[in-house]
Amino acid sequence: AAALRVAAAGARLSVLASGLRAAVRSLCSQLTSVDERIENKRRTALLGGGQRRIDAQHKRGKLTARERISLLLDPGSFVESDMFVEHRCADFGMAADKNKFPGDSVVTGWGRINGRLVYVFSQIQAFTISPRLVSNSWTQAIHLPWPLKVLGLQDFTVFGGSLSGAHAQKICKIMDQAVTVGAPVIGLNDSGGARIQEGVESLAGYADIFLRNVTASGVIPQISLIMGPCAGGAVYSPALTDFTFMVKDTSYLFITGPDVVKSVTNEDVTQEELGGAKTHTTMSGVAHRAFENDVDALCNLRDFFDYLPLSSQDPAPVRECHDPSDRLVPELDTVVPLESTKAYDMVDIIHSVVDEREFFEIMPTYAKNIVVGFARMNGRTVGIVGNQPKVASGCLDINSSVKGARFVRFCDAFNIPLITFVDVPGFLPGTAQEYGGIIRHGAKLLYAFAEATVPKVTVITRKAYGGAYDVMSSKHLCGDTNYAWPTAEIAVMGAKGAVEIIFKGHENVEAAQAEYIEKFANPFPAAVRGFVDDIIQPSSTRARICCDLDVLASKKVQRPWRKHANIPL
């Protein structure tokens, strides 16, 4: 034993004798421990809130942040950044290691969708408390001091998904890069709102994101997919993005939750009624579309992404097309009913005209008297706007004007040509509309069409009456190509109304009406003045539009310099 000890001492001595070797050895051991730490952090980060939270998330029919990203992006294309970011809060015991969480409840990075670059952030929502308490927390986070014992800080994932300064910083970082590179940002929102423990730093984080949303607006497409509760300040980032989609039954958007609503206005309302997908896609118009569940939503988002250019510097994407651009559509020759009072479905026309009947409708269940959405013509993305005679005769009212205007402006911002199908009897009359400001809101659509410099092709299928005719991408608003079908009636108003005014008190009203119809209820008055470029056979509509879009692809319009325009908001 003594001999051994001596040998060991000798060995130690010999090592110590060489200072260089010692330094190397020490460095090596340090490296090993850094490797281990990296590995540990990575593992923790990849596990999100831990297996138990993942299971809990699954049980609610929701996916984890990383699962969502894996579905949204091409396999293996995701490159994550800031996995090691942790929050910086030291109050309320938050500095404890058990409350530190690599990645700090948001996964950020970039990847590809069908080969094209996109920046993504996906918030980690892994609450273990009931959704009711969660919804409560948003409102209280904004208005009231948070009772810590309810939060149960022992469970560190309770603050998962909530927005800390670090969390916001991560999102801002990828947004900044997305703008400099020129690629869209997709946010998968499932956020716990402001992180109460951080106080004002969290609020500052929101504002940092809002600012970037606004700066990036019109530069790169921004898309929000709401996949969980989203309340208080958290709702405004989606509201600033170009498109907000929701997942049915699991996502909510509201400023204040049902409990606060009850205490302030004494209204009894459920989360779903107050801010569920149905509410926002049919009544408020806050969300643009809702999907069945996480998987359905993410698959659809991939599909939707293919329509968008990467940025405002890029042309509308052109995809390989197997649908002949000169395909005749005989069924269109009979689609407009003979009686001008009879309705038909404008979506039928859109389906027959576009490539392979594929039409991604935006806001399909809100203000249904106007139809907007994306499609392709000969492979090129186009924005489609159409009056819907099936709903409220296709008239323009407050909601449809605003819906149309926002869509038109998006298309214009991102170089997506606009195709407009017109069958509009006018603006909706009545006190409800006037008091609601139809003049102001109707002006938005007028403004948007007039402002748009992308190629604009317009097809008047039937009625184009009054001011609404002017609004709907008319020649006068610099429509590039304006067509009328033989069934078109371009006039100040319908024959009956017109005759009642012109021939007030006259006896032979019927004859006057017939004369008016003969004179105005057809495309000729507009055609002889050059307000429509041609009267076309409906079956040739697709071929004509495809042809026009090829020609108009190089269209350029110069507008006088200004800081920015002033749309009547």
Handedness of CA 519, 523, 524, 526 (dihedral sign): positive
Q: Which position among 12, 43, 58, 506 is part of the footprint of another protein (CB under 8 A)?
A: 58
Among 318, 432, 439, 511, binds another protein (CB under 8 A): 318
**Residue 307 binds another protein, judged by CB under 8 A:** no
Amino acid at 399: N
| Site for another protein, residues 178 to 207, rule: CB under 8 A | 181-183
Q: Which is nearer to another protein, 443 or 459 (CB)?
A: 459
284, 313, 453, 508: which one binds another protein (CB under 8 A): 313
Asked whether the CA dihedral 293, 295, 300, 301 is positive or negative, the reply is positive
Active site residue 468: yes
The CA distance from 142 to 122, in Å, is 23
Let me know if 467 is a catalytic residue: yes
Among the residue ranges 156-164, 318-326, 369-377, 467-475, the one whose residues contact another protein (CB under 8 A) = 318-326
Q: Is 304 in the site for another protein (CB under 8 A)?
A: yes
Nearer to another protein (CB atom), residue 99 or residue 487 = 487
Close Cβ partners of 567 (under 8 Å, ≥ 6 residues apart): 405, 409, 444, 447, 448, 451
CA 28 to chain centre: 51
The residue count of the chain comes to 569
Least separation in angstroms between CB 495 and another protein: 19
Segment near another protein (CB under 8 A); pick from 149-157, 334-342, 516-524, 547-555: 334-342
User: Considering the rule CB under 8 A, would residue 11 count as an interface residue with another protein?
Assistant: no
Between 333 and 470, CB nearer to another protein: 333
Within 46-181, strands assigned E span 79-81, 106-113, 116-123
Quickly list H helices, 377-453: 398-413, 431-436, 438-451
Q: What is the DSSP string of 75-114?
A: TT--EEE-TT------GGGTTSGGG--TTTTEEEEEEEET
Q: Which residue's entry shows tokens 């706007």?
A: 385
> Which neighbouring-strand residues pair with 276?
none
User: From the CB of 196, what's the least distance to another protein, in Å?
Assistant: 29
Q: Which of 192, 232, 404, 442 is catalytic?
A: 232
What backbone phi and psi angles, to 5 degrees, belong to 113? -120, 120
- Are 192 and 160 in contact by the 8 Å Cβ rule? The answer is yes
Q: How far is the CB of 380 from another protein (least distance, A)?
A: 9
Q: Is 352 in the site for another protein (CB under 8 A)?
A: yes
Tell me the C-alpha distance between 397 and 400, whole Å: 5
Does 52 interact with another protein (rule: CB under 8 A)? no
Distance, CA of 290 to CA of 277 (rounded, Å): 6
- Binding mask 60-99 vs another protein (x if CB under 8 A, - otherwise)? xxxx---x--xx--xxxx----------------------
Annotation marks residue 233 as catalytic:
yes
For another protein, the binding residues (CB under 8 A) are 57-63, 67, 70-71, 74-77, 112, 114-117, 181-183, 249, 291-296, 298-300, 302-304, 306, 310-311, 313-315, 317-320, 322, 329-335, 338, 348, 351-352, 379
Q: Where in the sequence numbering do the catalytic residues fall?
A: 232-233, 467-468
